[in-house]
Amino acid sequence: MILETKQTTVAYRCPHCGAGVLSAVGFFSLSADMVKLKCTCGQSEMTAVAQHDGKVRLTVPCLVCPSPHLFTVSQSVFFGRELFVFSCPYSGLGIAVTGEMNQVKAELARGELELLDLLEKSGMEAEDFDRFRNDERSLPDPQILDIVMFVINELDAEGKIYCRCPHDENDRSYEARVTDDGIEVSCRRCGASRLIPTDSRLSAHAFLNADALYLE
């Protein structure tokens, strides 16, 4: 008999250096002892502990508050959800994520883009803003690609990608190709295309809020 082991992906963002910290957590490792996710800068860590009542207790550093926040969830939530976000109770910002790896990566990237937007609107000092914008560890290129591809797939699934084909065409087919300048989305039928830049977090954030994608 083959046993199916429970496993989830856990991530948080370091409030000191801005880096995203991500790791897979298995049921047996969590049951055996406390699981720690520690940032490579050495200034923050997140812990998860399996309690005797079958719940999981998490201690998560906060991007806004000086002290970490404590969360308690059931193991069915911790291991069973495709995506679950833990938010700061005061600011509403997501500070930790659990779930399926690709969705966790996309949410981690999405959360940083939203944080950048919030910091920019609040008039944050330029040197502090650059810490998040330029630190490659906080959102490396693969994560920018992940979030842009996530939005493209969402728009495609919702039928919100438009090209030169008649609107009543049912066999329209789109492809996304990674280039040096970004992700090029094109229609295989009419050849219309559009390049989505992936060279900056701010441009990725702008695309994050897109209601539709128009190919030319």
Secondary structure of 112-142 in HEC code, one letter for each residue? HHHHHHHHHHCCCCHHHHHHHHHCCCCCCHH
H or E stretch covering 175: strand 174-178
Cβ atoms 27, 6 nearer than 8 A: yes
Please give the backbone phi and psi of residue 11, each rounded to the nearest 5 degrees, phi first: -145, 150
Indicate the SS3 state at residue 95.
strand
Say what the pTM is: 0.55
Q: Which amino acid does the sequence have at 181?
A: D
Which residues face 214 on adjacent strands?
A: 162
Cβ atoms 69, 62 nearer than 8 A: yes
pLDDT at 3: 36
Going from the first residue of the chain to its last (216 residues), give the mean pLDDT of each consecutive group of 10, the final group possibly shorter: 62 85 76 78 88 86 87 88 88 87 85 71 51 41 67 84 78 79 86 82 66 87
* Domain spans, the chain: 7-138, 142-214
Q: Which amino acid does the sequence have at 106?
A: A
CA distances to 5, 79, 95 from 61, rounded to whole Å, are 28, 21, 7
The two tokens of residue 170 are 């049912």
Indicate the SS3 state at residue 153.
helix
pLDDT at 134: 41
